[in-house]
Structure 1
Amino acid sequence: MSREPEMTATPLTADAPAAAHTRAAAARVVDLHKVYGKGEAQVRALDGVTLDLARGEFTAIMGPSGSGKSTMMHCAAGLDAVTSGEVYIGDVDITRLKDKALTTLRRDRIGFVFQSFNLIPTLNAEENILLPLAIAGRKADPAWFDTVIQTVGLRDRLSHRPNELSGGQQQRVACARALVSQPEIVFADEPTGNLDSTSGAEVLGFLRRSVDEFGQTIVMVTHDPVAAAHTDRVVFLADGRVVDEMREPTADKILERMKRLDVRVKPDAQTHDAGA
């Protein structure tokens, strides 16, 4: 999808994160800290992140290697426990939930798309898409299922198993699986990382349509400026903090911003996140 609007950027500090948008938040994190290890081996992955993620919006989380972007997403999605701070899905503070309640909330209100697809090889595409609902003992809404299948463009491949599908088709199956339960928010961690440029563009186009046509909320961690240019808003992390944001992004503007962030953090040899 060709998108070349002008960029509007708002410089941020750790004390003044991106919260100026008027839409209600589908999810938010408040003064989020995540620390791994103790003593000299301690790694501070997140250092006071506060961020609102607006409903019906496509947000990219970017930053240099070690900036804490994947850790932030995993904490926001309830996949990783926080050291301190609050994480809300809607009005529910998930940091206060017991394991069973958190599992139920993730199943019923959150969708996930990951770089590795995570499809079950013995199930066909339709069975993979419906698997989360089957586990929950629920049936798909027929009209919504039909809409998702039509949008994902794999109606003639539903009987095929993952090894009979291309990488792009497998990831579109994974996207459909994330959307079929009609979650409040979808978290996508490098969803195009294992795909060629054509397949990646197909997946990004599908995610973009799900926001524009269905009002879905999507948060995507990515290192790719081209992928991030499909979103409405890019939030930049560095050293475990929110340091900037950009609306109506373009790949060139994102790349320029990332270069500046990379230069800023390079003198500090200590990264704050063992992952991304």
Structure 2
Amino acid sequence: MTTPAPDSPGPESPAPDSPAPDVAARAVGLSKIYGTGDTRVAALSEVSVEFAKGEFTAIMGPSGSGKSTLMHCLAGLDDATEGAVFLGDTDLTSLSDKEMTRLRRDRVGFVFQSFNLVPTLTALENITLPSAIAGRSPDAEWLDDVLSRLGLKDRLDHRPGELSGGQQQRVACARALASQPEIIFGDEPTGNLDSRSSGEVLSILRAAVDEFHQTVVIVTHDPRAAAYADRVVFLADGRTVDELRGPTAESVLDRMKQLDEVAAATGNG
């Protein structure tokens, strides 16, 4: 049977709010406005973009392009001004604060630039903290596999201050993976790391997709980091303007240079 075009009428056409089964997260006509009047800033303007399950996507763009705002809205860390954001088939814009907190805890993993570890807890306690807050224990077999693959088994009793930056970020990655979330978001996850530690963390995120079948979305300014992804989505002036599949550091850098030149020419750089 021939599949109708997305805008075809009739009963076989999917509803606008019905995601494809292979879509982990998506934005539909998403706008985010800060301030009013003379201080009004449109961080995002009618962005529509999908993120496939089991895929590693990097979000890139010039400074001020809206990439972090997009990720924060997708992750439920910021509210949409207009439009909708979906995690699977759940419309985040329809959730109460309590429901949003539960969704972030149960269905989303986070890896931040600043690690966000609790300094008084051991590595293992940091890794299992979200599960402990939820009143449950992580799957023992899954957790053991995660710890083994991340090379953390001999660091579990160490506190963050006793770990290198790369080790702390590996702990943060383990924390994000421990609850088997539907999607992992990374906000400049290698921003505070040296090149060797950056490569280790990015390899872990790559393995999370290839071996653990997770979905990973990161914001980055580094073409070398983006080269680990399956797909790069480019933003400029609060809009999605391009995407690249099978990226290399060189192809990403070339695309970013083009966006920077356009921004400079229009006075937005």
Which TM-score applies when normalising by structure 2? 0.91
Distance 2:64 2:76 in 1: 20
Give the secondary-structure state (helix, strand or coil) at the position aligned to 1:155.
coil
| Residue 266 of structure 1: aligned partner | 264
Q: In structure 2, what is the equivalent of residue 4 of structure 1?
A: none
From 93, 96, 99, the equivalent of 1:98 is 96
User: Is residue 45–residue 67 contact of structure 1 (8 Å, CA) maintained in 2?
Assistant: yes
User: What is the rounded CA distance, in whole Å, between the counterparts of 2:156 and 2:233 in structure 1?
Assistant: 36
1:67 corresponding residue in structure 2: 65
The equivalent of 1:198 in structure 2 is 196
User: What SS does the aligned partner of 2:186 have?
Assistant: strand
Deviation sequence 1:113-159 (CA, Å, 0-9, x none): 00000000000100000000000001010000001101111110111
SS at match of 2:221: coil
Q: Which amino acid aligns with 1:136?
A: A
Q: Once the two structures are aligned, what percentage of the paired residues are identical?
A: 65
Instruction: Could you tell me which runs of 5 or more consecutive residues in structure 1 were left unpaired when the two chains were aligned.
Output: 1-21, 272-276
Query: How many angstroms apart in 2 are the aligned matches of 1:104 and 1:76?
Result: 15
Q: Distance in 2 between matches of 1:218 and 1:266?
A: 31
Give the counterpart letter for 2:130 in structure 1: P
| Distance (whole Å) between structure 1 residues aligned to residue 227 and residue 265 of structure 2 | 28
Correspondent of 2:105 among 96, 104, 107 = 107
> Equivalent of 2:245, from 240, 247, 250?
247
Deviations 1:228-275 (A, max 9, x none): 00000000000000000000000000000000000001133457xxxx
More relative contact order, 1 or 2 (CA 8 Å, 6+ apart): 1
Tell me the residue number matched to 1:34. 32
Q: Of 23, 43, 46, which residue of structure 2 is paired with 1:25?
A: 23
Q: Partners of 1:234 and 1:246 in 2: how far apart?
A: 5
Task: Determine the structure 2 residue equivalent to 1:133.
Answer: 131
The match for 1:167 is 165
CA distance in 2, matches of 1:270, 1:244: 17
- Other-structure match for 2:15: none
Counterpart position of 2:175 = 177
Aligned partners of 1:56 and 1:104: how far apart in 2? 23
Cα distance change on mapping 1:132 and 1:205 into 2, 3 Å = same
**Displacement after TM superposition at 1:219 (Å):** 0.2
| Distance in 2 separating the partners of 1:253 and 1:269 | 24
Q: Distance in 1 between matches of 2:119 and 2:217?
A: 27
Runs of 4+ in 1 over 4 A off after TM superposition: none
Distance in 1 (alpha carbons) for counterparts of 2:227 and 2:268: 29
Structure 2 CA distance, aligned partners of 1:78 and 1:266? 32
CA distance in 1, matches of 2:172, 2:266: 38
Distance in 2 separating the partners of 1:256 and 1:146: 41
Cα distance in 2, alignment partners of residues 154 and 266 from structure 1: 45
Give the Cα–Cα distance (whole angstroms) in 2 for the partners of residues 139 and 266 of structure 1: 51
Give the TM-score normalised by structure 1: 0.89
Residue 230 of structure 2 is matched in structure 1 by 232
Equivalent residue in structure 1 for 2:49, among 51, 75, 78: 51
Residue 40 of structure 1: how far off its partner (Å): 1.2
In structure 1, the partner of 2:14 is: none
Name the larger-Rg structure.
2
Can you give the 5+ residue segments of structure 2 that lack an aligned partner in the other structure?
1-19
2:210 to 209, 212, 216: 212
For 1:49, give the aligned amino acid: V
The one-letter code matched in structure 2 to 1:188 is G
- Could you tell me how far apart the structure 2 residues matched to 1:262 and 1:173 are? 35
User: Does the Cα contact within 8 Å between 1:23 and 1:54 map onto a contact in 2?
Assistant: no
Q: Which amino acid aligns with 2:48?
A: T
- Give the secondary-structure state (helix, strand or coil) at the position aligned to 1:204: helix
In structure 2, how many angstroms separate the alpha carbons of the residues matched to 1:159 and 1:84?
A: 46
What root-mean-square deviation, in Å, do the aligned CA atoms of Structure 1 and Structure 2 show?
1.0
AA partner of residue 188 (structure 2): E
